[in-house]
Amino acid sequence: MSITETSTTGQASAVSSATQSASPGETFDVLNPGSGEVVNTYPAAGPDEVRAVVERARLAAAWWRAQGTAGRTRVLKRWRSHLVNHADHLIDVVHNETGKPRGDAQLEVVLAVEHLAWATKHAPKVMKRRSVFPGLLMSNMAATLEYQPLGVIGVIGPWNYPVFTPMGSIAYALAAGNAVVFKPSEYTPGVGHWLSNSFAAACAQPVLQCVTGMGATGAALVDAKVDKIAFTGSTATGKRIMAAAAEHLTPVLMECGGKDAMLVDADADLEAAADAATWGAMSNAGQTCVGVERVYVHGDVYDEFVDRVVDKASALTVGSGDDAQIGPITMPKQIGIIAGHISDALDKGGRALLGGPGAVGERVVGPTVLVDVPDDSLAMTEETFGPTIVITRVASMDEAIERTNNSAFGLGSTVFSKARGAELAARIRSGMTAVNSVISFAAIAALPFGGIGDSGFGRIHGADGIREFTRAKSVARQRFAAPLALTSFDRTKKTDELVGKAIKLLHGRAG
């Protein structure tokens, strides 16, 4: 069966649907978002097939763990080298499946490789057994803590950064000693296959496998009793996955949507801020979870900032050609959402200084700059995921913080300020903040990446991203018999009295 349909905008599309059935033997087409041509056809894996893949992954996980850190490091370095030396091919697959310009595809591959290198290098140190202080009451003990792999991780990915985003889970999970079963987006199954095939070129064991299909294949993976689900995608799907995972008490990592804000203070470098706002909002055609969607600008510099953004955005090239800076919208149904947000903003009193409803085409959306948009507009509250930006004048940075934090989402954020960058960053309710730069936190491998509120929980990247795919293992070993036997029925009244006195001495004083 070919899972294609005609969307509201008249384009044929590979359909994303959580309710679509996906029995073994069915297939679905992936269409090039720029041309509408079929890129390739993939099998939609059903529950039996997914369970079989997870069974294979269980055996591979035991093998992978037994390799130890030295063995795993050797394989992961081989894989990294393969990725780098065949990157052109991967970039083509990303370009054909998502429509994004090749330069943007290269950027995500480069960042993914950086993260793989960091995770490979640091996992042994992060997980290594270490001694911890047992406390005075337990000073006859030696206490050690180590982090052990969980086993099999199910990674469910989105299409917007089909390499960078899932690799934030895959690379860290593998480096932590787990096997991975990856369910890529139905829009980018070729990327998923490419990644697992490239791993196979570096390792004969099925430590990284890929299952393709629609939402139902993802649901089958959640039901397959893996040891953790690492999900990246929309908040709505995240909630469904969490509910399903609860059935087996499977832990979940949720990397969901955002509505990221940028704050521009009166003393900001306006040229740099306008450049960052334009790129942050419109690169990858605005289809970035940590893209800039709202900007709050101090009244003293508002007019100049708006002019600069409009100038920069007007100069962008849009289309499917090699010279385009803004490519097509990958998921056809998103075009209707973007159009809805623009018209809702205008209906409620907003103005389009650039673009607007006329910028919404069949496959592409032109840059759109909106101002005077009320706070209750969809463009201010929901993820737009298009090359649009809403700029709002504020009287002070306190007001900017208040309006920024008045959102159900809390993924990334940006601050442009010469004097108050760190202070303002600390007050924003979001997982990450870039100061006088944009989205820079995603490229620093040592920094954990993730959100709060409707943007999800848990972290990829950094040491926290390694621990996310491990369990803490605590061991307390008695070195010598304690003078006071606490954990025995032989404990005497005298011991109880001494313990009562000791705890007062240790913790009784407030100062």
Closest approach of ligand NAD to the CB of residue 458, in Å:
10
Nearest-CB residue to ligand NAD? 218
Which residues fall within 8 angstroms of residue 494, CB to CB, at 6 or more apart?
none
Closest approach of ligand NAD to the CB of residue 254, in Å:
8
> Which residues of this protein are in contact with ligand NAD, per CB under 6 A?
16, 18, 156-161, 165, 183, 185-186, 214-215, 218-219, 222, 232-234, 237, 240-241, 255-258, 289, 331, 383, 411, 451, 456
**Which ranges of 325-433 would DSSP assign to H, the alpha helix?**
332-347, 378-381, 397-405, 421-427
Which residues fall within 8 angstroms of residue 335, CB to CB, at 6 or more apart?
7, 9, 11, 329, 360, 361, 362, 363, 365, 386
Q: Which of 49, 256, 289, 382 is labelled catalytic?
A: 289
Q: Is 505 exposed, middle or buried (CB count within 10 Å of its CB: 0-12, 13-18, 19+)? A: exposed
Based on the residue annotation, tell me whether 210 is a catalytic residue of this protein.
no
Which token pair is 137?
Answer: 């009451």
Closer CB to ligand NAD, residue 287 or residue 377? 287
- According to DSSP, the β-strands at 292-298 and 351-354 are unpaired
Closest approach of ligand NAD to the CB of residue 305, in Å:
25
Closer CB to ligand NAD, residue 209 or residue 237? 237
210: helix, strand or coil = strand
Closer CB to ligand NAD, residue 289 or residue 346? 289
Closer CB to ligand NAD, residue 119 or residue 203? 119
Q: Which of 49, 255, 293, 383 is labelled catalytic?
A: 255
Place of tokens 């018999």: 481
Instruction: With both helix axes pointing from N to C terminus, report the angle between 302-314 and 270-282 in degrees, rounded to the nearest 10.
Output: 50
Closest approach of ligand NAD to the CB of residue 290, in Å:
7
Closest approach of ligand NAD to the CB of residue 166, in Å:
9
Which residues fall within 8 angstroms of residue 476, CB to CB, at 6 or more apart?
134, 138, 141, 142, 143
Closer CB to ligand NAD, residue 344 or residue 383? 383
Closer CB to ligand NAD, residue 167 or residue 203? 167
Instruction: With both helix axes pointing from N to C terminus, report the angle between 87-98 and 68-85 in degrees, rounded to the nearest 10.
Output: 70
Based on the residue annotation, tell me whether 255 is a catalytic residue of this protein.
yes
**Which ranges of 176-255 would DSSP assign to H, the alpha helix?**
189-202, 215-222, 235-246
Closer CB to ligand NAD, residue 155 or residue 203? 155
Residues 347, 360: Cα–Cα separation, whole Å: 16
Residues 306, 202: Cα–Cα separation, whole Å: 50
Please report the sign of the dihedral spanned by the C-alpha atoms of residue 95, residue 98, residue 100, residue 105: negative
Closest approach of ligand NAD to the CB of residue 484, in Å:
51
Closest approach of ligand NAD to the CB of residue 216, in Å:
7
Phi, psi dihedral angles at 54 (to 5 degrees): -65, -35
Q: In this structure, how many other beta carbons lie within 10 angstroms of the beta carbon of residue 40?
A: 16
Residues assigned a catalytic role: 255, 289
